[in-house]
């Protein structure tokens, strides 16, 4: 990104937040966000800072509206519950200006806030499945830096479905894994990864760090009689807890063993394979956290359709970022 691009993006984003985009500027903003992953990250930071500043102005702003199809549950231990994530308010690219919460801060103040966040944002993971080994299909792996879980495959773009970024994406194949003792009746396809946070602990020793996990989900068209959902979960763990777990399944089901957790559920993926549905969670990291476990899932959404096989559900552009918030008092 050069300085000219950055100036244009700041101008467009500021106009969007002030609800002052012209039709031509709206078209240009859509083009920028569709073509540039870097622009999308900066756009997310604009939303993030605008939301935080609005919360300081008005306690009522903490109750942000949820998206129509999503439900969210967040539980934290030794950490303050976060406000509804900013991305739950995002709209499709064709109507970005509509429905935004408008802040009353000046453009200069907003630029300063964004510049501060850019300096303090730590990108931990960017994964679009372009390279590296395919995910293991042996269930949950406790080894950091490894994708594992149920049967999946990395596939290239196709005529009826293009990757969100790059040339490849992940397809969920089955809701079970190699050697699963009771595979029959499984209906959730899971993908896991453990992230080692110990190199970044100086950033959140004061309790002021928040992990943001986002991912894009998509589906081929499916019958009206069926429904597919998606979810993202994040768990903060200590090394002792991680070392003592032979299998994380029970701990995740009971919400034990983690210092803090956050989850987001999208109850119904749409039937338009041309659009990726982006969702995410925020999790304030306890000062003693050493690892982050993420779980990305697709789900057969109706009782009468539940089966092990998935017919065309996909994942792409997984991003994990640690950003700064005001420390808890």
Q: Provide the CA 327 distance to its chain's centre, in angstroms.
A: 22
Domain ranges of the chain: 3-65+91-120, 122-324
Q: Which residues pair with 265 in a beta bridge?
A: 71, 231
Helix, strand and coil percent figures for the chain, each rounded to 5: 30, 30, 40
Q: Are 106 and 35 in contact (CB under 8 A)?
A: no
As a three-state string, the secondary structure of 111-176 is HHHHHHHHHHCEEEEEECCCCCCCCECCCCCCCCCCCEECCEEEEECECCECCCCCCEEEEEEECC
In this predicted structure, what is the pLDDT of residue 207? 81
- For 155, other C-beta atoms within 10 Å of its C-beta total 15
122-324: in CATH 2.60.40.2250 = no
Ramachandran area for residue 78 (φ above 0: left; ψ -120 to 50: alpha; else beta): left
> Residue 291: enclosing H or E segment and its boundaries?
strand 291-300
In this predicted structure, what is the pLDDT of residue 39? 79
pTM of the model: 0.64
In this predicted structure, what is the pLDDT of residue 52? 38
In this predicted structure, what is the pLDDT of residue 44? 64
Per-residue pLDDT of the chain (329 residues; tens, 9 = 90+): 566 777 788 788 777 765 567 888 888 888 888 888 777 767 765 554 433 333 333 333 333 233 323 333 443 433 333 333 333 333 333 333 322 322 323 333 333 344 434 345 788 999 999 998 999 998 888 889 999 999 999 999 888 899 999 999 999 999 999 988 777 888 999 999 999 999 888 877 788 889 999 999 999 999 999 999 999 999 998 887 777 665 555 445 435 567 888 999 888 899 999 999 999 999 999 888 999 999 999 999 988 899 999 999 999 999 999 988 877 66
Q: Are 292 and 211 in contact (CB under 8 A)?
A: yes
CA distance 245 to 229: 28
Complete edge-to-edge strand list for the sheet that includes strand 228-237: 70-76, 260-266, 228-237, 291-300, 188-196, 148-149
In this predicted structure, what is the pLDDT of residue 217? 96
In this predicted structure, what is the pLDDT of residue 46? 55
């Amino acid at each position: 990104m050069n300085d000219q691009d950055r100036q244009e993006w700041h101008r467009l984003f500021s106009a969007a937040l002030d609800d002052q985009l012209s039709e031509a500027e709206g078209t240009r903003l859509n083009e920028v966000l569709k073509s540039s992953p870097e622009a999308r990250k900066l756009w997310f930071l604009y939303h993030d800072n605008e939301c935080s500043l609005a919360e300081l102005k008005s306690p009522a702003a903490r109750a942000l509206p949820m998206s129509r199809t999503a439900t969210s549950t967040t539980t934290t231990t030794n950490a303050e519950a976060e406000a509804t994530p900013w991305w739950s308010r995002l709209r499709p690219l064709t109507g970005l200006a509509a429905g935004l919460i408008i802040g009353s801060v000046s453009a200069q103040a907003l630029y300063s806030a964004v510049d501060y966040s850019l300096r303090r944002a730590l990108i931990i993971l960017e994964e679009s499945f372009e390279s590296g080994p395919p995910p293991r299909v042996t269930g949950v792996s406790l080894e950091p830096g490894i994708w594992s879980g149920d049967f999946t495959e990395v596939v290239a773009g196709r005529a009826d479905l293009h990757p969100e970024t790059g040339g490849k994406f992940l397809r969920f194949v089955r809701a079970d894994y190699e050697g699963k003792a009771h595979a029959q009746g499984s209906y959730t396809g899971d993908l896991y990864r453990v992230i080692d946070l110990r190199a970044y602990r100086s950033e959140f020793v004061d309790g002021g760090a928040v992990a943001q996990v986002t991912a894009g989900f998509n589906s081929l068209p499916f019958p009206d009689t069926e429904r597919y959902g998606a979810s993202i979960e994040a768990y903060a763990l200590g090394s002792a807890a991680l070392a003592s777990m032979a299998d994380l399944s029970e701990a995740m089901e009971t919400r034990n063993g983690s210092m803090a957790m956050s989850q987001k559920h999208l109850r119904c993926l749409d039937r338009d394979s041309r659009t990726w549905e982006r969702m995410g969670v925020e999790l304030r990291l306890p000062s003693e956290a050493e690892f982050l476990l993420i779980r990305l899932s697709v789900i057969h959404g109706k009782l009468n359709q539940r089966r092990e096989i998935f017919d065309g559900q996909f994942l792409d552009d997984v991003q994990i970022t640690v950003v700064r918030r005001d420390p808890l008092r």
